[in-house]
Structure formats: structure tokens, C-alpha cells
Structure 1
């Protein structure tokens, strides 16, 4: 496929992996409904305002400030201080260096010999790529006071990526694998007054592999990380670096201490189950002590439970697990709009003296999934159905923690709230616990992913299960944590020739079972999604999920026309599903580019010719050709890419919302970029300035909406147009006795109004009715609008939407002198009729006026000699070439001294037009885009082939990077001109049936070309 040449690995996955390829999976058809028409109405809908981008930015800042004020009270800690806290000594300043050959004598590292640099923890760094397998050393000297009697000292690491081996005072005290799970060592017996700490960090190639190579390793790491501040190695695609990226400290604890507390709320029965993990660091039984439990309101004034005392007979050496059921009949629930939190405070008392204390924040909430209904997969929050609407996160929240910017972390979560999101997918990795703490306080649900992508090494099966349990222990106490997934975009080992290194699908299903059981042991209430974006479905348990980049990696998952019509990708029968990723790239704003990008990425002058392929990792230059034309300046590239991002965000988000019957979770990829040019599918740049698509997404996620849908964006005057109205309700509230008022207008005049009464069931999407009207007359081409308002039973407007379309006058009315043509076959005769041409059958011996149209090779061969003779003497001919059957089977029309043939091409929805031709000055940039196809009654792809031949001048074309020159892509002609003698031939190689007569800009272009002939043959 032409498209896959020179693509980055993520685009390559999207183009090669196509879910739903198994016999048991079938594409989901649109919702069936009985058509109902709006009645004429007398009341006019208000004009839907169109705010400028600058105005929306001002409104955004105001709303963000209101949200800060709203949620600030929920970030308070009103609980009384605990009676005992643990002393900590934090360590942030280290020496660092990479391993050298001389370090085979490890004494050099322990003694600090060699060249070292200063590093501040948190620290995360490269190299990555094919040099991503490396070892580095962190070293620190520090003093420590003698340990108090009856105390133990633990060296705590909150996160080291990837393998850590720890040495204290020349003694190896332990090792750990896995980047996200905290780990610790009892170092009491190794501490001295003066100490040397060395941490050996080993990085490996990730299991998913290194893009552009065949290298893969044992590292459980997907494709997201915090990155580091290097535009070439650290900004792009979240490279698999390594380092001590989270806190390090020494903590004094009692010989018997509380290691963890987990609270399982039971809203239905009005109690909580408190799990207490207690660690006995001695080698003997500790007997006859007391645990005291208290449940305390944290961020509000209210009543709690306790203190309650529990007598403990004994705790054996090592870890001990205690569980208590506590009645809690009166409580405040944790809700996204009101995230009330409690503290479970556990104290160890011995002889009336508190020897240890641990606080654990929790929320009274329930999240579960129905696995008994038909279809299965409905999600519930606090026993009410909920739809998860959100975005992916890939590093920006992690950077907030690493840079100690809590206010930015708060804002980043509130930016999501301002867009009407209710959840984040923390993509492909667990993160620092501070992020989950703020999710709890700000009412933001989230999904946590095990860090695997595509494949799992067979030798890492057991390690993967262990890390699944680690993940659950990290997040289980957070009320914001609602779901986990076990792998991102699993692919076929057979297709990638990786079966000798990775789990086959049946083995991966065994891994899912084992990992689910490990999670169950840590938290029986967890909702588990086996795969996020399953490219090798189906999985046998849990909620299915697909990724769908239809409007970027063209037709990935499903074709655009089908998606817009209401089809869905294949889903396992009997289940609902989630869409874990979708989106398109939109370039960063110009100010961010000029202030942060390397100088060599930018033009000397913003008006000079420039291409986004100068930005490392950017996809816009490679992908734009299917969606918008090649641009020339930096500003025009920014504008065009951001406009497409808006359109794709609108069409795809609305499509998911219209299918709430089956799609219960959606996440756009992604919300905020962690770095400039980091992952430009983000709707908000690293400067936290929203791109226009952010506001599009915010409007699409309005919880209660009226949505207008139509497959035709350009129509003729006098046509009967039908626009569907849909009701979208993501809330758990029902609305009855509503009205939809729709008004047809052009900005100057109102042409008519239409009305429909309706009800909105909770968490649903439903067809409401069809707005049917006759398109008003227009001088030539004119924009029109349907403004629709959703009015509740009390007369208040709940939501409004504007649908834009363009009306065209018929060419016959604009040009009293008709265009003449002769046809050689029945297909050409039909074409003449649809184009409203004055036509007649071709006669070889007649000197006919006008152009000549031939649609079949048989007719061309039969009249080849006379037809080409007439062209040489000045006639215009249009050849409608058929599509090739295969890449090796061209449709070839032989001319004298040359030939015109077609080659197979992918299906796209937009094509470029050479508007510099004098006769095409009327065309706009999007005039050859999103054509309607009458045969299947929906938007449809335009091209299936492109033209080959000498002397072809592209008129309508697609793009290829192969053979580009002067920094411009080569054009693949779809409609082309070939001059023959005094005349010309126009070759057309995309299917016209179902399109001609129903797409005014297509019709006008063909008529314009035919009109350029007319010389007497």
C-alpha cells in the first residue's frame, strides 16, 4: 500500500492491523428506526452563536477559574492530625554516570571513581531506540543518626525504571524489576554514621520492540512515559528511557508497623470492609496488642465512625493480613461533581501507647459492570448507569509530579473537566500515586493500564502476572480508579513473525486469566478490560475495546462513510464495547513552535515555504494527503491541520455518542501534550493553550444534546433535503416532554421552522425525527444552516446545534447555452443525463460539436481511430477509465504513441485540485471532499485507482512522497489532462456512478472540463 511507505511504527500498526478479521466477528449495522418527520412550526430557534477562537480562549480561562473555586474545598484535609508520624530523610541529589567497560571492576562504582554528573531525583533519561539497552549508576553519600531503640529504618523507592539493584555501604541489599511499583528494603542493620548508596539501573528494549528494528526485550513497557527535555530523543512518542523517576527516602518505623490499608465500600449493605496489612520485622511472635480504627471525614465537616478497637492475639514474623467489617450506614458518596473523601486511620497500640499510625484516604463509591444483561457491558457508578467520556494521558500529569507543580496538575485535571470529560485513560502505564490522589479530590475517574503493548514475551508470563497484582495494589484504594486493562493493541504474532519470542493469542488469553485472578486477590471489586484496542479479537472475558483512527490512519477500524452512517467496528456478540483511542494530529500553535522548537525545525521567515516533516516525529506531512491539500507556509500548515482535527473530532465523537446502545466508553487520543511536538494528536499544547479542536470536543461532550446528522454537505437548490435529529443523553437523569425546534436560515433570512416533541431516557442515544425541507434557490452557491434547539418541559433551552450545508444553482440555469456532448456507450449516456448536458450518440463520420465521452474500453477500442482523429483536430474527449481488478491488472487504453492506464489505489475521502487552472478558479479547498454516494446512501470514498501515462497533467490528484521534488509531494492524478494535437483528453479514474448528479462540485468540475472543448471536430 502506498500509504505505508516510510511511516513511523504507530502509523504502521494502524495500517497493517485490522480488527474484526475473524469469522465470529461481524460489523455492527446502524440502529434501525422508523422514520418520523418534524412538523411545520411557528416558533423560531435562536441563532446558534459562532464564537471566535480568541473568545473561546477567554471563556476557557474564566471557566477554569470557576472550576478552581468549585473544587478547592474538596482538596482540604479537615481531619485532625494523627497522634504519631514517621520520620523521613529524603534524598534528591545524586551523582550519575553510565556504565563503562572499566566498571567490570565494580569497586570503581562503589568508591565513586570515574566521571560523574550531578542528577536531581526525580530523574528520567535516555538513550532510547536501538541504544535503549543500557546500565547507569546513581550514587550518593549521606550521614544518618543512630537508629532509635525499637525502630527499624526502611529505604523506600517510589519508582525506578526499569531494573534496580541497590547497594548500601558495599552490601547488595536487594533488587526490583518493574518501573511503577514502589519497593523498599529494611536497611537498619546496614546503616552507619557515614553511608554510601549506589543504585544500579538497567534498561532493556521494551517487549513491543524498537520501531524500525527487529529488537525487542524483556522490559514491561508500552509506549508512554514521562519523557525528558530533549527534542530529538525525549519529546517524541514517549521513548523508553530509565532512571529513578520517583521519590527516594529513609523512613523510621516501629518493629510492628502498618504497611497498607485498603477500604472496600459496600454501598448496598451500608458497611465497609477494611483490610489492614501489618508487618512484623522481628523473628518472633508479637502478641496481645491492639489495633484502633477510625473513619474520619477528610474534605468536609461531618461524622465518621470510631475509634474502634480490635484485640490482636498475635502477629507472626513478616506480613500479616487483618480484615474487619464495619457498619457505616450514614455516609456521603464519592461522586465526580462532589468527591467527598474519608480517611481510614489505623493505629497500633501496645500497653496503651501508640507505636504506629497510618492514614489511608478512601471514598464511598461503587463501580461495576453488568455481565448478565443482553448485551453485557453496561457500566454503573453508584448503581446508576454511566458512560465514560474522556481522553488519553501520555506524560503531562507525570511531569507535573516530577517537576513539583501541583497547581499545574490540578489545572490539567480541571482542563479535562472543562471539556465535559468524566474520566482519563492513563494510557499504557500506572503513574505516581499523587496523580491518583488529585483524581480522588477532583472527581476524575480513570482507567489504569498494565504497561504492555502488542506482545508479551513468553518468558515474562509470571512477571506480568506479578506486575498486574502490583498495579492493583497501587491504585485499589483510590475511588477514582474504576477500571484496568491488561494490554494495549494486541497483535498477531503469526503476522509479525514473533511467535518464537512472544505469547500466541491462546497463550495471551491464559495470561489474561492469570492476571485477572491476581488482581482479584488484591481487589475482588475491580472491573478488568483484557485488551484496550484489540487488533486480534475477540478476547473471551470482559468488555471488548477497539481503537479507531478512521480520519487519520485512513479507514482504520471502519470506513468513515459507514461510521458516520451509524455502523460500528466488529464487537464480540452479546457485548457492549469501548473505544479506547481515536483522533487526528493538529500541529502546535505558532507561538509554541517559535518559542520552544529547535531553530532548524522552523523557517527563517514564517512566509517562506516550509513543511512539517522538519518536526521530528510529526505525522502531518505523511498523512495529510488523504484529508487536506499540501500547504506552503508554517501558518497555513497549522491552520489546515487544526481544521481537520476539529472536523475529525466532531464527526467521530458524535458517531460514538449516537451509539450509546453499544459504546459505553470513549477516549480521544489525547488531551494535553507533555512536550512541544510530543504527540500532536493532543487537543491542548504543552503550553496548556487549547487548540480549536478542544472546543469542538467540549461541545461534542455536552451531557445532554441535540445532534443533527446528514450524509450530504453540498446539495442543489430545489432538492428535498433530509437531516436526522438525534437526542444524546449521557446523564442518569431522564427528560420528558421536551421539544426540538429547528429553523432553516442563511444568516440573513429565516426560511421556515420545524418542530418535534420528544423524551430523553437516561444514558441513551436515540433518533428523534427527520427535518425535511426543500432547498431554497440560490444565485450560484450559498451557505445555509439548520439551527436546532432542545427545549425542556419548562421552556428552558438545554442545548443547541447548528448544521451547515451549501446549496448550488444548477449549471443549466447559470449557463443558458447548454454544454454539448456525444456519448459512445450507455454509461456515457447516463452520465450526460445526470450532468444535464445536451447530448447525442457519437457518430464517426459526423463533425459534431462539443465534447466526446466514453466510459468503456470496448467502446473506445471500437471507435478508437475516428475518436483520436477528432481529438487531434481540436475536439475534447473524456475517458472514464474503470478501476483495476488487482495491482498487477491495469486498465490500459492505448493511444498512438502512448497509453493511459490505471493502478490500484487506496480509498480516500478528499482529493487535491489544481485550482490554479483558469477555468477552476471557482473551486474552494474542500470542494473535492466527502462526496455522497446514492448507491449506498452515505458518504463514500472517492478514489480506488490513479492514472499512469506520459504527458498527463494532474487536475484532481492525491499525494505520494515517492518521487517528490523541491520539497513538494508528487501528485498521483485521478483526473488528468493529456494534450493530443490541437485537442485534449481528460482521463477520469474514480467511480462516478452514484456520485455524479448528487455532488454539485463534482458535476461542475466535469462540466467545466467538457466545456473547455467544443471545437468542431
Structure 2
């Protein structure tokens, strides 16, 4: 169960791990620490910078310490290029310079995140270069420091010339060169799929995470990996400590670990280079990590392991690592067909041996990662929990480690995608680069209990066509499964799991009723934020190119809402789009929950937040203001849900209709005898009528817009006042983690009427769940 090591080249912080030699730790009585040698100094703040459009900075000696940078401007670090107007669409190098004083001891400079290409010099000497955006990298400075030092970094967010074509062809013909996932090409980022240039506008480049100087003794930590193993009521923490000895001869040190107030120590003889010490820590009756919505099982308990390297009473290095005791696996048990499949193709989720139904969404906080903070992540976590979701899929990119810290604490599970989206090069060099980055991702987030699955690629082209780089994903899958045997690994999202866009890319959303999907990980529709005209000048009436730059698929909106010309104001059109999205999401989720474990193991909507001023699939705008779809998610994702299984919302006069009523309980506790009360009322609903016709508003931007053969008509809430026509109730038992049919409501009306159906699930005087639906008789 211990993680395997995969070779990663310098200057990645994980480069030493694969070269580590095994050394034994001999248990000893821990010594007292009298003073601390290690410290961390921040290099954040104002840095000198200068763009290099001609790429002649090296020729002009910009990396030399004596070079005069007095006329250079200053930029805050961390930051993204997009924060400077002149760099928002700049793809050439940008040079940075920072001065600092002399330090004693073993000194390294750590870059926590630079996007995307970086070359580093100290006092005119080139230290090395790095490619990537999410993995920290470092350089040893010992023996190179002077009284005053000049650190120089050349950063480039390169233009990806593998992105080519227009519209849908841009998606399917592009074989991108840089594995940045949704951060450089996506239909939810600036420019959508308009053109190679516009699709890469407002890029993500920059020194976007902190830069630090690390001071330690000759022996210091490289990394610590912790693997919890459940064994009945007890557990073991398998601890792999990686430490490097920068001296040329072996060094005897004391390794001290402290967990839950208990301190242990081992004598270690560290050989020159990286050393791996394998330790075990028994945990009796451990507190297990469960998601936040299952407090009846335990909740998100975390352990903190404190590690020190001590030499003669002096602490040479120190670190803290948090972990949770939890075991995750995927399995089958499809009740009606006796299916016993195991692994990702089944998608029934088991946490610590208990089956958990997944309710979640896809997530991207922002592409400009210098703007993230604990406050932002905690706000998003609270909004996720308030919407009754227990999982997010971090969609085709990686967030900074702070997100996973917050989700560990808040008990939100993470499906973690690797940073690949659609098509890429097929050569060996690119495959090796991706395998190295995948290994870095796994090591970086390995200790986080919130991360429950690795996914290698989102929507690679080979899942649809006989094209695309399947060999890349086969090799990535092998790397991930060999490194981390403790988590499920999925090769390609969209293959095995389901991406369903009925009611958006063709068809009606009610057609999902006929599907049997083990695990839908994308579904949804676009909705227009009410603030869009405040963020974008002259946005109404719609200018097709401008709206498309902000991701709006106007022709599809008009297919399901009717032409924008029939709406008197922008607010009316926007409200209609939000009503449609809310009804679609509610229908999808209720259908998946009625099919709970038969076969569906959960579902993830697409997506949570429109991270920039755009018209996208999110239920929050970029300012985190909820749209109507957010309330629909909150209602449909209630752990205890009463709902109706309906196929259509418009009935003919005299038609006899039977509406099955279901109660879904995701909690692992029973509710005993409950009552479903229903009430049917006459009201006045709102009807959104679409169009059977194809809309050619975007003909200059080829996009797949499948025809809708029947008129898309959506019945939405209208007036609140209503006249009660009939009512009734059903009694049923509600077991733990169950789906139960409560009864059927029969309807038949001989005249046109607008109807509202209200449901209430009660236990004694306590209201457990409520719901409402809107129908028409024509």
C-alpha cells in the first residue's frame, strides 16, 4: 500500500524521491530541542519586471547582478500577468529581479507556483529551468550567496500553436503542446472557441504563488507521504519520510515524530543525497474521515503529524503534515441484475466500508490563481455544503494546496482531474512530460483525505472518434495506479462515467428518464447572470461575437428559450435562462436519485461557479451571487428527498396521468414511519417556449447545434397564490440509505388548467422534506 516512486527531473521538489536510498531508523529516546536552526523568509512583495517582446533579455545581460534595472517597473509577487493591462495577452518572456541579503546555513529558494516556463539565475549564474504551473520547484543556494544577492527569473506563458481551426473544428483539430487543461483552452474561459488567439486571451502566466527562502541544517526534509491502512477497528499509518543530506559524508541525526501528543524518535544515518525512512504508527480505535454530510458515521476528522530533524539538541528542519484515516474503493452491487463488478466501471462509492451516494459538481475557483485565498475557498466550501453537495470534481486543472486543506477540514470529497482537456500531441516527449507531471500531482496531494480519485484526462478525443492520443492515457493510467494503490484511478472522463447534455446539445432534458448511467459527471445548461450587462458594455441587445467571447452559446439559448427578440428586456431573457437551468438541473438530479444504486452511484453537475464575467454553466456568477439553479441544486440534493417521477409536464385534456412519489434517504440512519402529504392546486404557471428551428446566429462560428424535433416547452413556477383542488397522503417506512416508492397520484382534467403539486414528508410534527412541481393541461 505504500506509494511507489516515479522519476521526476530537477528542479521539482519531488526529484530526489525516486533516487532515495532506503535507510533504517533505530528507535531511541528523543532528545530535547534547545534551539532552532531552520527558518523561512518570504521573498513576496514588489519585484522589478520588464517584458521581453524581442526575446533578447539574455543577449542584453538582464540576468547579471550589475545590470541596471532602475528604469524597470515593479509588480507584486505573487500575481498573474493578467493583473497588468500590457501583459494580458502577452506570450513572450517577462523578466523579474529581486534583491536580498546574505543568509547562513543550508539555503534553498522555493517557488510554489510559476506559470508556465521559468528560468532562474542567482548573481549571474544560471540555476536551472522548469516547465509546468502547479508543482513547486527549488534550487540550492548554499555556497552561492554574497552580501547582496540578485535573483532573476524569466517567466513565459507561451502561445500554444497546437491550437488551431475555428469553432468546433478548433476543439477537434487541436493537438495542444502544453498540458494546462482548461487554463489555456476551454469553452468556459475567455474567448471560448472563437480562434486560436482569442481562445488563449487573458492568460494565466506569472509568478502566481509565493517565493520563499528555506534555511535548514545539512540534513533537511524533502517530503513526507502518509498512507492510512484500516484493519478492523484499528489502523496503521505507514509513514515514508524523505530527507536529504547535503554533505559529502554520512550524517547521524535524530528523526522525531509527534502524533496526538505522543512523541517517538529514531536514530538515522543519512547518506549523502536523498534517504527514505519507512516507519509505522499504530492507531487504536482511530477517528475516521467521512464527508461532512455523514456525521452519523463520523465526520472529517484529521490527524497532524509533526516531524523534526534534530542534531545535538538543535532542530535542523521541521514540518507538519495532516492526514485522515479513510479507505476509498469503487464497487458494483447493482441490485436488480445481481451485478458484482468492481472498480471504476461500477461507480458505487465505499468510504471506510460504508456506501456513500455522491452529490456534487464540477469546480474551478478562478484561472488567475494568485487571487485565491483561504477566505475564498472557505466561502466556496460553505456554498457547496449549503447546496447539500459532498463532492467536487476539480475539472481538468489543479488548484493550489490551500483548497485541499480547506476541503479536508470541511469534509468535501474531491475527484481530481489531471490537467488534460481534449486533444494533445502524440509524441514520446510529450507523453514523458505528462507522466512526470502526473506523478508530481499525486505526490503533492497524496496526504489529503479529501482526494478520493485520480482521473488522467477529461474528454480525450479517442472516446468519440478513431483519433486522439490514447497511448498517452494508457501510459498515464499505468503510472497513476502504480504510484498510488490506495485510490481508484479513472483513465478518461466521459468514458465509463457519463457526460449528458440532453436539453442543451439537442433533445429534451426529460429524455434522461430513459437512461441508466452509473455515474454522470457532467450535465447542465447555460444561464445568464443578471449582472452581465453591468460587467460587459453594450451587452443588450446581444452582439453575437461579444457574447460568444464571454462563452454564451446564443443559438442554443434561443433554441430552448425562444428568440431573444421576443423578450422585452435583458432581465426577462436572463431570468428565463435561469428558470430553464433550474428546471433542467432539478429533473436530472431527481432522476439520478430515483435510480440510486440501480445503477447510479452519484452525480456531478456542470458546473458550480462561472469563474469570470461570463455566461456559462455555473449556478453562481463570478462574484458568487447565486442564480436560480443554485436553489434547484440545494433542493434536489437534499440528503432526504421526497420527489415525483414525471415524464412530461404538459397533459392533454382527459388524459389519465399517474405520478409515482419517491422518498430517497442518503443518510445512514432510518427515520421509521413517515407520511408523504400531497396537495394539488390551481395556479398560474410560467411557460418558456423554445423553437423547433435551427438558429443560425452563430453560423460564422461552426458549432454543433443538434436539431430539436419537438417544441422545447418548460413549465416553471409562476404566481404564488393557488386554489387547492385535491390532497391526500401516503404512509411508508424510511430505512437508512434507501429509495422507497411511497405511492402514486392519479390526475385527469377535462379542461385547460395550470397546476401546482406540493409534497411534504413528515414524521409526527417534524417536516423532513418538501418539494413542488408545475404542470399544464391543454
**TM-score with structure 1 setting the length:** 0.61
Contact 2:287–2:301 (Cα < 8 Å) also in 1: yes
**What SS does the aligned partner of 1:784 have?**
strand
CA deviations on 1:87-112 (whole Å, 9 max, x unpaired) are: 31323322333333360752432255
CA deviations on 1:886-941 (whole Å, 9 max, x unpaired) are: xxxxxxxxxxxxxxxxxxxxxxxxxxxxxxxxxxxxxxxxxxxxxxxxxxxxxxxx
**What SS does the aligned partner of 1:640 have?**
helix
Is 1:246 matched up with 2:216? no
**What SS does the aligned partner of 1:648 have?**
helix
- The Cα of 1:374 is off from its aligned counterpart by 1.5
Change (3 A) 1:83 1:340: farther
- The Cα of 1:328 is off from its aligned counterpart by 1.3
Aligned to 1:331: 286
CA deviations on 1:933-983 (whole Å, 9 max, x unpaired) are: xxxxxxxxxxxxxxxxxxxxxxxxxxxxxxxxxxxxxxxxxxxxxxxxxxx
Distance 2:142 2:673 in 1: 71
Change (3 A) 1:164 1:357: same
Distance 2:90 2:176 in 1: 9
Aligned to 2:9: none
Contact 1:613–1:620 (Cα < 8 Å) also in 2: no
CA deviations on 1:808-863 (whole Å, 9 max, x unpaired) are: xxxxxxxxxxxxxxxxxxxxxxxxxxxxxxxxxxxxxxxxxxxxxxxxxxxxxxxx
- The Cα of 1:326 is off from its aligned counterpart by 1.1
Aligned to 1:285: 250
1:108 aligns with one of 61, 73, 82: 61
Aligned to 1:683: 619
Q: Residues 209-220 of structure 1 correspond to what in structure 2 (within 5 A)?
A: 209-210=163-164, 212=166, 216-220=175-179
2:264 aligns with one of 308, 320, 330: 308
Change (3 A) 1:82 1:660: farther
Change (3 A) 1:798 1:180: same
Contact 2:348–2:600 (Cα < 8 Å) also in 1: no
Is 1:272 matched up with 2:237? yes
Is 1:731 matched up with 2:667? yes
2:525 aligns with one of 584, 588, 597: 584
Is 1:87 matched up with 2:40? yes
Is 1:263 matched up with 2:226? yes
Change (3 A) 1:154 1:246: same
Change (3 A) 1:381 1:175: same
Structure 2 unaligned regions, length at least 5: 1-32, 293-298, 334-338, 684-721
Greater alpha carbon shift after TM alignment, 719-728 vs 745-754: 745-754
Aligned to 1:369: 330
Distance 1:733 1:84 in 2: 52
Is 1:803 matched up with 2:756? no
Greater alpha carbon shift after TM alignment, 635-644 vs 202-211: 202-211
Aligned to 2:319: 358
Aligned to 1:756: 730
Aligned to 2:112: 158
Contact 1:94–1:138 (Cα < 8 Å) also in 2: no
Contact 2:302–2:409 (Cα < 8 Å) also in 1: yes
Contact 1:132–1:204 (Cα < 8 Å) also in 2: no
**What SS does the aligned partner of 1:685 have?**
coil
Aligned to 1:174: 128
Distance 2:521 2:123 in 1: 47
Contact 1:166–1:173 (Cα < 8 Å) also in 2: yes
Distance 2:673 2:198 in 1: 52
Distance 2:175 2:91 in 1: 14
Contact 1:578–1:665 (Cα < 8 Å) also in 2: yes
Aligned to 1:429: 397
Structure 1 unaligned regions, length at least 5: 1-79, 296-303, 535-543, 570-576, 604-608, 808-999, 1001-1017
Q: Residues 170-249 of structure 1 correspond to what in structure 2 (within 5 A)?
A: 170-205=124-159, 209-210=163-164, 212=166, 216-224=175-183, 240-249=203-212
- The Cα of 1:307 is off from its aligned counterpart by 0.3
What value does the CA root-mean-square deviation take over the aligned residues? 3.2
CA deviations on 1:295-341 (whole Å, 9 max, x unpaired) are: 1xxxxxxxx252011222x2122221112111111433333334332
Change (3 A) 1:526 1:388: same
Q: Residues 388-787 of structure 1 correspond to what in structure 2 (within 5 A)?
A: 388-396=358-366, 402-403=370-371, 405-459=373-427, 460-492=430-462, 495=465, 503=469, 505=470, 507-517=471-481, 520-521=482-483, 523-534=484-495, 544-555=496-507, 560-563=509-512, 565-568=513-516, 577-589=518-530, 592-597=531-536, 599=537, 601-603=538-540, 609-610=541-542, 614-615=546-547, 616-632=549-565, 633-661=569-597, 662-677=599-614, 680-746=616-682, 749-775=723-749, 777-778=750-751, 781-787=752-758
Contact 1:566–1:659 (Cα < 8 Å) also in 2: no
Contact 2:331–2:340 (Cα < 8 Å) also in 1: no
Change (3 A) 1:471 1:323: same
Distance 1:619 1:744 in 2: 38
Change (3 A) 1:759 1:240: farther
Distance 2:191 2:185 in 1: 15
Distance 1:413 1:235 in 2: 32
Change (3 A) 1:509 1:588: closer
Contact 2:754–2:775 (Cα < 8 Å) also in 1: yes
CA deviations on 1:556-610 (whole Å, 9 max, x unpaired) are: xxx63431x33236xxxxxxx3222211111111xx334432x2x334xxxxx55
Contact 2:53–2:93 (Cα < 8 Å) also in 1: no
Higher relative contact order (Cα pairs below 8 Å, separated by 6+ residues):
2
Count of aligned pairs between the two proteins = 667
Distance 2:395 2:132 in 1: 17
**What SS does the aligned partner of 1:695 have?**
helix
Aligned to 2:10: none
**What SS does the aligned partner of 1:707 have?**
strand
**What SS does the aligned partner of 2:528 have?**
coil
Distance 2:560 2:754 in 1: 22
- The Cα of 1:235 is off from its aligned counterpart by 11
Change (3 A) 1:237 1:439: farther
Contact 2:91–2:159 (Cα < 8 Å) also in 1: no
Aligned to 2:49: 96
Aligned to 1:916: none
- The Cα of 1:745 is off from its aligned counterpart by 2.9
Contact 2:37–2:314 (Cα < 8 Å) also in 1: no
Distance 2:34 2:161 in 1: 45
**What SS does the aligned partner of 1:311 have?**
strand
Greater alpha carbon shift after TM alignment, 117-126 vs 337-346: 117-126
Change (3 A) 1:740 1:637: same
**What SS does the aligned partner of 2:643 have?**
strand
Contact 1:447–1:481 (Cα < 8 Å) also in 2: yes
Aligned to 2:272: 317
CA deviations on 1:635-656 (whole Å, 9 max, x unpaired) are: 2221221121112111222222
Contact 1:135–1:200 (Cα < 8 Å) also in 2: no
**What SS does the aligned partner of 2:114 have?**
coil
**TM-score with structure 2 setting the length:** 0.79
Change (3 A) 1:636 1:380: same
Contact 2:38–2:214 (Cα < 8 Å) also in 1: no
- The Cα of 1:215 is off from its aligned counterpart by 5.6
Aligned to 1:294: 258
Aligned to 2:100: 143
Change (3 A) 1:634 1:411: same
Contact 1:154–1:188 (Cα < 8 Å) also in 2: yes
